[in-house]
Every structure is written in C-alpha cells, then in structure tokens.
Amino acid sequence: MSSSPRATVYLDNAASQAMLPVALEAMIHALTLAGNASSLHGSGRRTRRLLEESRETIAAALGARPSEVLFTSGGTEADNLAVKGIFLARHRADPRRRRIVLSAVEHHAILDSAEWLAAAYDAELVILPVDAQGFVDPDDLRRDLAEHAEHTALVSVMWANNEVGTIEPIAELAAIGSEFGVPVHSDAVQAVGHVPVDFAASQLSAMSLAAHKFGGPQGIGVLLIGRDVECVPLAHGGGHERDLRSGTQNVAGAVAMAAALRYSVDHLTEAAASTSALADRLTDVLLAYPDTVRNGPADPALRLPGIVHVTFEHCEGDSLLMLLDAQGVECSTGSACTAGVAQASHVLLAMGLSMEAARGSLRFSLGPATSLDDIAVVADVFGPILDRARAAGLVGSGRLPIAVQEGSHA
C-alpha cells in the first residue's frame, strides 16, 4: 500500500511569499467595487478614497509622506523608474552628469537599467566592490564622490541582498550622497516587511518595494521618491502618480499591499525572531554535512532573518534543486538562467567565491508559514540527495575512476 504524497515544503519566500489572509480579504473586497480612481462620480470618489487611504497606510508604515508614495506594477518597474528617471532628469539638466554608481551585487532590475542607459545615453557605470560577506564599504563611495560628485547622476545600493541577505549600511551611504549633493536610491524589495525600514530617517532620495515579498499580491509595488527629487517619467498618459507613472491605478492591489505591509510591520519583531530561529535550525541541518559553508554575514543582526544561503562543494546547485524538488522541497539556486544556459551568480562571484562554489549553492528563504515540520522534512531527505548530487558532480567532472564512471547509474 503506497504512502500518501508528502506535502510541499516551500522555502522560496524571497522569490514570492504567499498572500497574507488580511491582504487577500482586503483585495477581494476592493475587487467587488466598481469605479476608476480618476472618475468624478460617487463610485470613482469611493475608489479614490481607497487608493489614498492605502497610500497613507504605506507612507506611515515606512516613515514617508503620502505624496512620496508612487504606485507601480512591482519592484522591477520601481527600480527602472528610479534609475532611468533620475538619471535622465539630472543628465538633461547637466550633460556632464553621466556617472551611475552601483554596488556589484545589485538585482538585475538595477544592473540592466543602468546598462541600458550606458548603451542609449553613454552613461558611465561605476561598480562599488563588496567584501566576502557582501558589504559595500562606505569609504569607497566617499572616495568616489569626493572626486567625481559633479559628474555623478545618482547612486543605487540595495537595502538587503536578495541572495545572501546582507543588510547594507544604507543610512551611511545615503548620508554620503547627501553630503555631496548626489541622490541615492535603494532597492529595498527584500528588506521591507522583514527588517525595520524608515525612509525619512534613511535620508534616501528614492526607494523601491514590491508587495509580493511581504505577503501582498504580485503585480503591485511602490517607488518612494522625495518631492524635491527630479525624475523623468517612463510612461506617459493621464498624469497619474505625480505625472511620473501614468496609467489607471491598481486599486485592489494597492489596498492589499497596504494591508500586508501594515500587518508585516506590526508583527515584524516576533516574525523576525521566529523566522531567525527556524533559519538557525535549518542552518544546523545543512552545515552538519561536510564541505558546506553558509554565505553572507556571520552576524545575524546584519542579515535578513529568513535567508539561508549555503555552498555545497563538489556538486551543482541545479542538480540539488531538482532532486529536492522531486522530494517536495522547493528552494532556489544562486544562479540565473540566461537563454537556457546556467550562469554563476554575479553576487557570489563579487563576494569572492570561485565559479565552482558559486554554481554549487542554494538559497533557502523562510516565511511566515514555515514550520519546524518543514525543517524536519529537509533534514529527512537532504543527506541522500546531497550524496547523489555530489556523485553526479564528480562523475561529470571526471574526478572518479573510469570504472566507477562507467558503472554509475546515479
């Protein structure tokens, strides 16, 4: 008699978290209402009120003013608008401002936007290095701006890294930018809802976030941008969102995002403590195997509570991923797939990992629904899976005797 299939263990919350019940309830209610937030009749005014109340809730949760909250379709659009829009505004005002300063570990929404500007507007990209734990050194930014501030359009450094969880010294970096009169943007997509974030206190000029990273719906995000920060719109039309992001607003998404953010911020301390404890337990399970190393900051206060990123020597992360998936454990690799060809993570390479180590890494990201039972499942299945992946890796590399390779069916 066959046993019932094991329930899926979802450990990819950094990619997308399930919607919180409070957010789902708020969204369903908003979806039942007719009305365009730009219409002047009663239904339109009711919808506008929901939109503006959501804007106020988000602003209050993040230490911002409601007028600084611009709704977008997600973190990628918010990053594009910040990088391209601020660059274009400052470059047009002074063509000498061609430089964009980025960290080496930015998300591709930032890197690709900057590379597009380099191709289309001859922007000069300056990459700040990171140390072995993924940290940007503020002194590197200070030295750069001390010499090149008048030619720099903007700086963009992520608040927390999406792969290894490193929390960057954003307030210090933003203060340096302010000192030299250069706007600083931060991709805070992974940080918001998981660690304390205060836009006003940070001194940032702009900041991006996405609802589905903290229990809101996919397809809705926000760019927080100061009222005095010049930015060229990328979408033109009806002049919505301070004329910086035209298009009929996703009111139901905004309502759900606000509800998820309010809940996440209100429960942040206890959620972080619970998630950190589970992450420590998972780390103990994984590091019990030989030739395994956790990546990112050693100090738990300097990394996101829910991310466990580990390198497993002598195997491919993709192999581990698929073998785990076959056992109902879902996580992600530290590599990106471009045109069907697996590439080592630029984040791990920037941190000094070898190509082999970078390709043999996995990210497990925990969320509110993660339980001790989930960790127990990983502990139960992981040993045989790692052995199998390592055996395949050794065979593929030619490091096993020929007789062993020929007789292997792994």
pLDDT tens, position by position, 5-18? 568 999 999 999 99
Is residue 213 helix, strand or coil?
A: helix
CATH of domain 21-265: 3.40.640.10
Helix axes 372-397 and 317-326, enclosed angle (nearest 10): 130
pTM value is 0.92
**DSSP string computed for 232-253:** --SS-SS-HHHHTS-S---HHH
Q: Is residue 395 scored above 50 in pLDDT? A: no
Point out the catalytic residue in the list 231, 315, 331, 337.
337
Angle at CA 80, nearest 5°, toward 79 and 83?
80
Residue 401's pLDDT is 35
Per-residue pLDDT band at 243 (split at 50, 70, 90): confident
Q: Is 268-407 in the same CATH topology as 21-265?
A: no
Interatomic CA distance for residues 37 and 253, integer angstroms: 13
- First vs last C-alpha separation in the chain: 27
Phi-psi region of 215 (alpha: psi -120 to 50; beta: other; left: phi over 0): left
> For residue 288, what is the enclosing H or E element?
none
The pair of structure tokens assigned to 245 is 């992001």
| CA 363 from centroid of its chain's CA atoms | 13
Annotated catalytic residue 331: no
Q: Which of 324, 365, 251, 381 has its CA nearest to residue 18?
A: 365
Domain boundaries, given as residue ranges, for the chain: 21-265, 268-407
pLDDT band, residue 342 (cuts 50/70/90): low
Cβ proximity of 188 and 209 under 8 Å: yes
| Domain 268-407 annotated CATH 3.90.1150.10 | yes
Task: Look at residues 217, 302, 301, 199 and name the one whose alpha carbon lies nearest to residue 261.
Answer: 217
